[in-house]
Structures are given as structure tokens and as C-alpha cells.
A = this chain, B = another copy of it.
């Protein structure tokens, strides 16, 4: 087994100094044609590659991005990672992944683990527990140490940093408008608890669309699911809750759900109750994942463009990392009120499938 070769070893073998080797390999013309040739040939033969860690230490930058997300077994988040990895790689960065598992503590531990030199900046989406606690000190602490953060999807005003969000509000408006245009009179909303910002925004969009169309919102037609407890049989519970909801509100002829799971479950329940889709009930979900494409009937959804969000977030972060940092630092130092942070809004798009007319 030949351990990776270092400059030192090459120097020793070729009886030159380490700095000569370093220069020769970087093609410096300080070094004679001859020596350069010899050294490069030798290095190639032994497949020399500079040690990343040493470079990181020297340059005080690791060329790696830390991703911190609540959950990886989730289509949306994996598409975001794919987007991040895509541009990160293209721009010479690696990607290190931490999972908060929706836990406040794990989020903090993970951040601290990565913030100690392992990465140059974060791309993250806030855990539910953190949103619930509304404790964002760890984000601000990280930023104050000079490590930039880009937040996506689950973001929060209390932290000043670049953000990439999908236009949840307008996405919801579009979806509900579509249902209204399709002649739905009693449109139900299936949403999450309000502390999840995206759920709240989509709920607001729903209300806005109704109002714009002079429809009075009926609170009975709004079902808020509490998914904070991750119990074993949450699928059953969900189904039961939705079924009860349908039975209490027989007049429902349209459903807007803030994620595809709720939407698909609603379709299932509706079918079970003898309703046909889209004839009796039309359904639109949010997030264009696997379920939407393969449900029967296939589900009309508001697409979130996860991969695009990831790409934009990565570009934002790398731009910041590679721009002259003085400006940024200055901002942090002065706590300058006029923020130059960017908030990118990714437009949503309705993907029409079979669950709407």
C-alpha cells in the first residue's frame, strides 16, 4: 500500500527542496525547464494531489458548503440538495450534509460541529422545533463569526441573511383561483399548524384568493393538522382526521392542501366516501413530488422547484464567499440597518394533472 505522496517525499526523492517542488508543480517559471519537467513527471507517476486539509488550513477556506436540513427522506429536500450539489461541484465546492431531524438541539450541535472550520458557509432550512421555540440565536452567532448563511424555504425574518423562498403565498392564490375558476363553490383547505411559516403563508394565500373572489371563508372548511408529533401511525391518524373532516363537510367540492401527502390522502378519503375526482371533488396539492405523479388520479400541484432553489442558494452563497468580504464584514460590524441581503423568490407553477377539471 502506498500512502498518498507529499511534497516532502517528492523533494527527498528528487533531492531538491520542498519549495522547488511546490513551484515546479504550480508551473512557476522561476524553476528551470529541466527540473520542472523532472518533478512534474515524478509527481504524475506517483499521482500526486495536494492535500485538501493542508490547503484549507493555509487558505483559511475549505471550499465546502454545509447543508443543514430537517430531514433527508423527503423529496423536496433531496431535490434541493441535488441543486446545491450541482452548482457547488461545478464551482469547485464540496457539500457536507447535516440533518437536524426537526430538532432544535440537533440543529445547534450540527451547526457547531460544522462551524469550527469544516465549512465556509451554510445553506439551511430551519427545523420545526426551532420555529416553534422562535430561538434563532445560533444562526445569528454563526453569522457574527463571519460565516455566511443562506436560508431556503423555511426562513425567518429575525435572521439577517440571504434567503431563497418559494412564493408560497401566490402559489396558494393561484391554486385556489384555479379551483374557483373550475367552478368549485366550497373549497376546503388542509394545512399545518401556523408556526410553520410555509403553512401559514399558503393559508394566507388561500384566504386571499377567496376574498378576491368575494367568497366568504368558512372556518369549518379549514383543517389544521398537527404533525409536530412524529408518531408511528401518523398516516392512519391523518387519514382519519381527513375523513372526519369530509364527513362533517359534505358540501366540499374542492380541496387545496399545503403538501402532496395531505392532497393524496384527501383523494383517497374522497374516493373511499364514494366521491369521484375530479367530477365531485377537485384537488390541488403543493410540492411536486413522486406522489403527485403517481397517484390515481394523478395530482395537480403547485410546483416548488426544489432543485432550482438549491441552485440559486448555492450560487448566492458562493458569490458571497468569493466576493471581496470587506463589504459583508463591514455590514456585520456596523449592524448597518439598510440590509444588502438578497431574498430570492422562486415563482411557483401549477402543474395540471388529472385531479382537476
A contact set with B: CB distance below 8 Å: 1-4, 47, 49-54, 56-57, 62, 64, 72-75, 78-79, 81-82, 85, 89, 94-99, 110, 112-118, 141, 144-146, 235, 261, 264-265, 268, 271, 289-291, 293-296, 329, 332-333
Contact = CB atoms under 8 A, between A and B. Distances in A.
A296 B264 CA distance: 10
Nearest to A268: B296
A116 B49 contact: yes
Nearest to A335: B1
A72 B53 contact: no
Given A94-B98, A296-B296, A1 B117 contact: no
A145 B1 contact: yes
Nearest to A92: B113
A54 B52 contact: no
B117 A53 contact: yes
Main secondary structure of the interface of A (DSSP, over half): helix
Given A57-B53, A117-B53, A144 B78 contact: no
A173 B64 CA distance: 44
Contacts of A294: 261, 264-265, 268, 291, 295
A300 to B, nearest CB: 16
A143 B75 CA distance: 33
A72 B69 CA distance: 14
A57 B6 CA distance: 13
A94 B72 contact: no
Given A73-B82, A89-B98, A289-B290, 20 more contacts: A1-B146, A1-B329, A1-B332, A49-B112, A49-B115, A51-B116, A52-B118, A53-B62, A53-B117, A53-B118, A54-B57, A73-B78, A73-B79, A74-B78, A75-B75, A75-B290, A94-B98, A95-B98, A294-B295, A295-B295
B116 A50 contact: yes
Contacts of A116: 4, 49-52
A296 B291 CA distance: 11
A159 B215 CA distance: 66
17 contacts: A1-B145, A4-B117, A49-B115, A51-B117, A53-B118, A57-B57, A72-B78, A72-B85, A73-B82, A78-B78, A95-B97, A96-B97, A235-B293, A264-B294, A265-B294, A268-B296, A291-B291
A114 B94 contact: yes
Contacts of A73: 75, 78-79, 82
Contacts of A296: 268, 271, 295-296
A113 B264 CA distance: 41
A78 to B, nearest CB: 5
Contacts of A85: 72, 97-99
A57 to B, nearest CB: 5
